[in-house]
Amino acid sequence: MRDAYIVQSVRTPGCKQKRGQFNQTRPEELASFIMKEAVDRTPNLKPEDLDDVMMGCAFPEGEQGLNLGRIAAKMAGFPDKVSGATVNRFCASGLEAIALASSRVQMGWSEVCMGAGCESMTFVPMGGNVPRPHPEYSKTNPEMYISMGVTAENVAQRYNVTREEQDEFAANSQLKAEAARDGGKFTEIVPTPAYKYVKQEDGTYKKESFIVKHDDGIRPSTPEVLGKLRTVFSAVGSVTAGNSSQTTDGAAATIIASKEKCDELGLTPIGRLVTYATVGCKSDEMGVGPKYAIPAALKQAGLTIDDIDIYEINEAFASQALHCIKELDLEKYMDRINIHGGAIALGHPLGCTGAKLTATMLANLKEVGGRYGIVSMCIGGGMGAAAIFERL
């Protein structure tokens, strides 16, 4: 297969569902903006150089329905020749999109391809607008449809992850994110226009814009304060709003080009996808997915956990992230894991998350001067995904 190089990877800030700064900004606006910015910020690249767009979206309906990959491409001003598709692997949709974009370039089907992700959990809620589980199957296999929070409680109880551990992990995530934000470490973020509708004296509404520069869900806390929060999914459980990921709106985009196109246009490679693995697991403990996917990806790449300089392990819930870290013997490398905080502080915009974490991981690899990075997450329905990237 041909070499496929990442030449750009950026994201919008992540903003809280309904209460955040993107709560009146449609998903197509977020996606098209970051896609256009990804191209504009890549020297020597023009929109007409793109062949295709893979867009990850976990709930592609409502405002982010039809074919968001194609609609956002047109809204971004890309020419008609740039095709687009929407990809759904729930929480790994954005990572799947990047993997598919890389594969297209490696196979020679595209010269320049974009892997992106977008989710507005304000406009399209978790589970979608009209969820309709299969009536007979849901009776025999209800675990395929249960709340992700219940699966997090299952992981905590089955694998003895304590409330105290979860709250400490969550507090650390918030503190790291606060320090990174204040220290200007989120270099992958592009200040993004947001919109609000302001009522005028005549009763009409005017659409006004403003710029969002930072993730707006960071709330520094302590384990003691988090310990006072009530559980959400079980009266005698340990999973709370404070040690779970935030539901979030956001978008991200990565551009992949062939070596030949890089040489022709003078594009500078910043990284490459080494390998990508997905593994299934029990649906009622879907959070354990990374403990299977990360070893699978390492085996494919011929690497070990010691070779990885940066881990971006999605913090869907502190219980599942902690369990996977322990099972993978990664506790000795906590200084390499989510070094600037994770989804508990920064949010988990579902189908965007894999694309978002890729941009963050590449920025963090550059910061620490590392070579290899992993992006991994658990996936609703019982799966795990992991991708290994190399910084060039």
pLDDT in tens, 104-148: 999 999 999 999 999 999 999 999 999 999 999 999 999 999 999
- Of 113, 118, 281, 378, the catalytic one is 378
- Of 91, 281, 324, 352, the catalytic one is 91
The fraction of the chain above a pLDDT of 90, given in percent, is 99
* 151-176: pLDDT as tens digits: 999 999 999 999 999 999 999 999 99
Q: Does the pLDDT at position 3 exceed 90?
A: yes
Give residue 96's pLDDT band: very low, low, confident or very high (50, 70, 90).
Answer: very high
- pLDDT score of 242: 98
- pLDDT score of 191: 98
- pLDDT score of 14: 98
CATH label, 4-126+245-387, candidates 3.40.47.10, 3.30.70.260, 3.40.50.300, 3.40.50.150 = 3.40.47.10
The reply to whether 91 belongs to the active site is yes
Q: How many CB atoms lie within 10 A of CB 195?
A: 16
- pLDDT score of 1: 86
Spans of all domains in the chain: 4-126+245-387
Q: Mean pLDDT across the stretch 59-88?
A: 98
Q: Mean pLDDT across the stretch 239-246?
A: 98
Q: Does the pLDDT at position 298 exceed 90?
A: yes
The reply to whether 348 belongs to the active site is yes
- pLDDT score of 286: 98
- Of 15, 323, 348, 352, the catalytic one is 348
Average pLDDT, the chain: 97
* 332-390: pLDDT as tens digits: 999 999 999 999 999 999 999 999 999 999 999 999 999 999 999 999 999 999 999 99
